[in-house]
Amino acid sequence: MSTKFIFVTGGVASSLGKGVMASTIGRLLQNRGYRITIQKFDPYINVDPGTLNPNEHGECYVTVDGYECDLDLGHYERFTDIKTTRWNSFTTGRIYMEVIDKERRGEYGGKTVQVVPHITNAIKENMLRTSKDNNLDFVITEIGGTVGDIEGLPFLESIRQLKWELGEDAIVVHLAYVPYIAAAGELKTKPTQHSVKQLQSFGIQPDCIILRSEHPLSMDLRRKVAGFCNVRPDCVLHSPDVSTIYELPIKMHEDGLDDVILRLCNVDDNEIAAHSSSCNNDFNEQWKRFVDLRKTSNEDLHIGFIGKYNLQDAYKSITESMSIAGTYKHRKVKCHFIDSELITEDNVEQQLAGMQGYVICPGFGDRGIEGKITAAKYLRENNIPTLGICLGMQIMAIEFARNVLGYSDAHSAEFSKTTKNPVIDIMEEQKNLVYVGNTMRLGGYECELLNDSKAQKAYGKDKIIERHRHRYELNNRYIAEMESQGMVVSGKNPRSALAEIIELPANHWYLGTQFHPEYSSTVLNPHPLFLAFLDAVLNK
């Protein structure tokens, strides 16, 4: 079977869940025994989201090979257990940079460089690249934004061309919204009709339309959409509200989405039967058990997130990883944002009241840092279960140096250029680099775990690989003194001896990681550190 391409577009409004729907399609095809990957093409000019404010764009996700990308790639991995790379994520800025670099090198032979064909050819090449490199059955490509956005037009033109070039090997799945007008007491399909007509005006006919609605959709309404939008009635499907996004693959399978896609891609019955006979049914059953467990977990577990980005998606992978781990502990984890800018020595107890465990969140910049340090001191001294991630681990180290080692000016070189005790400092080999993104330690790095430590017990092994996204490190010249006072470096990079995990063995659970464990946590393989942290919370 040749590789099939599924393009996922959206209309009417943003935030309809294209990323979750693309992930759902991937999950359903995997359940049928197919090899898949998922890509994201974003229309903004930034080369990547690494320098975007999380309060504006949500979290920045990092692939296993160290590429900073959109948070939807986290959904892709959590749903499907695939490992994404830099070839799974593109922005308009990155595409234009590639083309401009070629032009500067003279690779276009003096021709006038234009959106068509040079930009669109670059887009198409990158859309096709993963299938050539990985021998896949399906490549699912999500287009960010909504149909009609001016910056997204080159992507739509590329899809139009590929649909003609690939023929039956390419289909378009369009996600649209059907609003309910309370005053009229009815659902309105006109926004969807306009969205599809706009897509058609760019030369693209959708093959399948998925209607996002909070209300049930009758077959008459679906037939109406099918008639106005030139698709078969059985190719108009409903994406309903669900109690958890992880229920969506089950709902969409019940509505026939995977069957529709296989038929639209002209996959013959013998091919379908061959893949179905070889697929792992336990994989699918495990997913159903997870969703059932999620529905029946009734007891709440309240976890405080001490950070400075008060946006639902700012810590998306952490909240999802914590929630997934909670499901396996028969609990509904409720994540509560605690603004570190508001925490002081006088109100720390009040600000942190009511939670059963805490996460000191990652981030960049000095806003809210002193509040985090104050919180870390309170949590350490009161033996409250605490997990520090990236900057969170660094905060733990700074606080310990100040209040246990006695270095009152201890700080990070990121926030203080005058401190005489830079407990957190930048790596020497990166100090002279020009571009901010180039000074980052990104992607998967090895870590060796200290025998019999909390970290080693949680993982159940001695060596791990975890993903990083940071610029500064725990300064090695302070480690011996910290360990003499009870803070243990329980994870180290075997090549550089840089600290990866610190913990206080005397405390019930007080552990920080320089890496981001949330990037490696999925529905079917929850991260062991989140599971161990919740165990500590429950046992406490």
Judge contact between 303 and 357, C-beta under 8 A.
Answer: yes
Plot region of 368 (φ>0 → left; ψ -120 to 50 → alpha; else → beta): left
- What is the C-alpha separation between 122 and 126, in angstroms, rounded? 6
Residue 278: the pLDDT is 56
Please, what is the angle between helix 257-264 and helix 18-31, to 10°? 80
- What is the C-alpha separation between 517 and 319, in angstroms, rounded? 12
DSSP for 91-138 reads EHHHHHHHHHHHHHTTTTTTPPP-IIIIIHHHHHHHHHHHHHHHT-SE
Residue 432: the pLDDT is 56
Residue 461: the pLDDT is 96
Residue 436: the pLDDT is 46
3-state secondary structure of 307: strand
Active site residues: 390, 516, 518
pTM of this structure: 0.92
Please identify every stretch of the chain with a pLDDT value under 50, giving residue numbers as ranges.
433-437
Q: Indicate the Cα dihedral angle 76, 77, 81, 87, nearest 10°.
A: 90
Give 267's contacts (C-beta < 8 A, 6+ positions apart).
Answer: 1, 4
- What is the C-alpha separation between 523 and 509, in angstroms, rounded? 24
Cα–Cα distances in Å, from 164 out to 34, 42, 159, 204? Answer: 24, 23, 9, 10
